Amino acid sequence: MMQATPSFDADEMRATACLVLADGTIFHGIGLGGEGEAVGEVCFNTAMTGYQEILTDPSYAGQIITFTFPHIGNVGTNEEDIETVNLAASAGVRGAILRADVTHPSNYRATRHLSDWLKSRGIIALSGIDTRALTAFIRDHSMPNGVIAHHPDGTFDYEALKKQARDWPGLVGMDLVPDVTATQRYSWDESEWRWGEGYRRQDHHGRHIVAIDYGVKRNILRQLVRAGNRVSVVPATASLDDIMALKPDGVFLSNGPGDPAATGVYAVPVIKALIDRNVPIFGICLGHQMLALALGGTTVKMAQGHHGANHPVKDLTTGKVEITSMNHGFAVDSSSLPGDIEETHVSLFDGSNTGIRSKSRPVFSVQYHPEASPGPRDSHYLFDRFAALIDARRNRAA
């Protein structure tokens, strides 16, 4: 068992929060945000900015995030940088782990202290631990199951917490999409943020995109609108008839949490039927993985996953390298892809698959997050590539 050394000048008797891993490893710290206990898979995120977008990304449902950047919370929180459309407090991350104490917000956009904001959403966090040691542990042992606990009186039943972490089944085979998807269809017309204006409304009457919501992020929808599309969002359980009744020019498969093979039980048959009808399709993250499943590929669980806003990816179709945001613990097995499927993007960190397209159908997808929230804007071109794909298809049919 490894005992992490707290970064504050006190022993564990002064700790008000802890992280207990399934193997019995314990990290002590100072609690903030919500109180109580939460179990999940512990991962690390290497982004230096965008912690509010990360903490509201529905793809993190079932996970506890360790931030490798030490100063989290220094710019506070606001009401604009929220990525989840489903505002239920339970629809997302299970907990957050920070190195340094959260300072008073220092940013003109801040409306709330991070701890108060976390508490309002029921998210448990702890600060003051050696996040380098925890990151190294994850690197060496893969993403473990763990329980994050915040008890202001500093009293913890470590054996019970260890058992809770050990008994949690983990993300393999777990369908978490029902926790984050929309419950009914809705329209989206909000476009990208502009300095001094905020988020703008944009009316379009051209291409109609139906976005299947597996846990969609707001900025993905904004980028679809920015590219000149009218957007309708449907729940993850929408049937083929539900989707086709909306007369889509293209279908978007969103990001989301959990095991793609589990969600694919009900999602993949619908995607296959859309492919058979030659409907243009663009997928991101979980949508990428499920498109690969629908095309005959398989997915695998990753040891550490990819989480951060500084991941280099090579576009094999252009030879260009882009810096991207990533958030996934499963990946498409490129060796499983049928001959008709072309690998279009690869990670320059580990060579794993990050993009595919069909040679005979108007469908493509990427593993990373081109909407850049958080992260660089290098990959915005993919939304325009989707629009161009639809336009080319419509022109041929004219």
Q: Tell me the pLDDT tens digit for each residue of 266-321.
A: 999 999 999 999 999 999 999 999 999 999 999 999 999 999 999 999 999 999 99
Cα–Cα separations (whole angstroms), residue 220 to 98, 215, 217, 289 = 27, 11, 5, 17
- pLDDT tens per residue across span 171-195: 999 999 999 999 999 999 999 888 8
CATH number for the domain including 48? 3.50.30.20
Is residue 370 located within the same domain as residue 237?
yes
In sequence order, what are the beta bridge partners of 31? Answer: 126
Q: Using DSSP bridges, classify how beta strands 229-235 and 281-284 pair: parallel, antiparallel or unpaired.
A: unpaired
Whether 214 and 361 share a structural domain: yes
Q: Which residues of 25-56 are buried (b: 16+ CB within 10 A; e: fewer)?
A: bbbbbbbbbbeebbbbbbbbbbbbebbbbbbb
Query: In this structure, are 308 and 338 located in the same domain?
Result: yes
Q: Residue 115: left if φ>0, alpha if ψ -120 to 50, beta else—which one? A: alpha
Q: How many CB atoms lie within 10 A of CB 196?
A: 4
Which positions make up the binding site for L-glutamine? 59, 256, 258, 286, 289, 327, 329-330
In a domain, 22, yes or no: yes
Largest CA distance in the chain: 74
Distance of CA 293 to the CA centre of its chain: 19
Q: Which of 119, 148, 167 is the last residue of a domain?
A: 167
Q: Output the domain CATH number for residue 327.
A: 3.40.50.880
Which residue segment(s) compose the domain that 92 sits in?
12-167
**pLDDT the model gives residue 200:** 86
How much of the chain, in percent, has pLDDT values that exceed 70?
A: 95
The total of structural domains in the chain comes to 2
The answer to whether residue 88 sits within a structural domain is yes
Instruction: Examine the domain organization and report whether 133 and 262 are in the same domain.
Output: no
- Whether 2 shows a pLDDT value over 50: the answer reads no
Asked if residue 266 belongs to a domain, the reply is yes
Q: Is the entire prediction scored with pTM above 0.85?
A: yes
The residues annotated as belonging to the active site are: 285, 369, 371
The DSSP line for 349-387 is TT--EEEEEESSSSEEEESSBTT-SSS-STTTHHHHHHH
In angstroms, the CA 44 to CA 143 distance is 9
Q: Per-residue DSSP letters for 261-326? A: HHHHHHHHHHHHHHHHTT--EEEETHHHHHHHHHTT--EEEEEEEEEEEEEEEEETTT--EEEEEE
Which two structure tokens, joined as six digits, stand for 88? 């239920």
Contact 177, 258 (CB under 8 A): yes
Task: Encode pLDDT of 54-76 as tens digits.
Answer: 999 999 999 999 999 999 999 99
**Last residue of one domain, picked from the residues 141, 167, 193:** 167
Share of the chain above pLDDT 90, in %: 89
Domain boundary at 133, 167, 201, which? 167
Report the distance separating Cα 7 and Cα 192, nearest Å. Answer: 40
* Residue list for the binding site: 59, 256, 258, 286, 289, 327, 329-330
